[in-house]
Structure 1
Amino acid sequence: MKYSFLFVLLLGNIVFLSSCSLQNDGTAAGLNIEKGILFYSDENNISEEDSYYEALIELKDTYPSQFENYVIVAKNKDHASAFAFLNDTYPALLVVEDNEVICKVVGNIPKNEILTPISNTLENWK
């Protein structure tokens, strides 16, 4: 009888803890990002990122207020794992709004192929 209370308490904790789960569905909901720009950078292959740096400079000049929540996610760094479920390709540029990736550009591509979709997305931000 005296162990029944302990059993109920332990069972309640197990049920409660097993109901918790990580969100790994390609959204940023686990991070709670209302608006943000994430740049995935691989320090070992910076030469492949030249077009991204050029695009980022141009985008920041054109949309300075949109870059208030700008994060560089460096490969092999501690905070990169928090953003890993959103992207696994380097280099990449993601625009996140209301906890969802609304625009994603990945791979070694020319500056114009980065600017066009990202500019169109940032243009619609309020």
Structure 2
Amino acid sequence: MKYSFLIILLLGNIIFLSSCSLQSDRTAAGLNIEKGILFYSDESNFQEEDAYYEALVELKHLYPGQFENYQIIPKNKEYDSTFSSLNSTYPALLVIENNKIVCKVIGTSGKEEIMKPVSNALDKWK
């Protein structure tokens, strides 16, 4: 009787632990991004983001290959837990390379204020 309980307990632990997976190198935010562009968008406040959208359209035209790993991060709970340690300000545009932020534009900005630093970062990807 004691052995059957012990066997069941051990099997339960083995099944439980085998469902866990090891993570490869991660950033502080729990991400593994070699190259990526993250746009933090507050969907309820599009007026403040006009310059970001204009800059993103032009940047995508100038650097089409660099937008393969482009993500929009909406301001909601699903993404907050994953991406909040990288940025908490909306709107914001981050360029990530080798799990590090190489460019960060935050808050209300003009189109040129957004494009210049992001273009400089994306030029290095070529």
**TM-score (norm. length: structure 1):** 0.76
Q: Which amino acid aligns with 2:85?
A: F
Alignment of 1:113-124 (within 5 A): 113-124=113-124
- State the Cα distance separating 1:76 from its structure 2 match: 1.2
Count of aligned pairs: 105
Aligned to 2:88: 88
Report runs of 4+ in structure 1 exceeding 2 Å deviation. Answer: none
Q: Whole-Å Cα distance in 2 between the matches of residues 71 and 80 of structure 1?
A: 14
Q: What do the CA deviations read for 1:66-92 (whole angstroms, capped 9, x no partner)?
A: 000000000014123211100000000
The question of 1:76 aligning with 2:76 is answered yes
Q: Is the 8 A contact 1:24 1:85 kept in 2?
A: no
Q: Whole-Å Cα distance in 2 between the matches of residues 111 and 77 of structure 1?
A: 28
Mark the runs of 5 or more structure 1 residues left unpaired by the alignment.
1-22
State the percentage of identical aligned residues: 63
Q: Which amino acid aligns with 1:32?
A: N
Q: Whole-Å Cα distance in 2 between the matches of residues 124 and 24 of structure 1?
A: 21
**TM-score (norm. length: structure 2):** 0.76
Q: Is the 8 A contact 2:52 2:111 kept in 1?
A: yes
After superposition, the CA RMSD in angstroms is 2.0
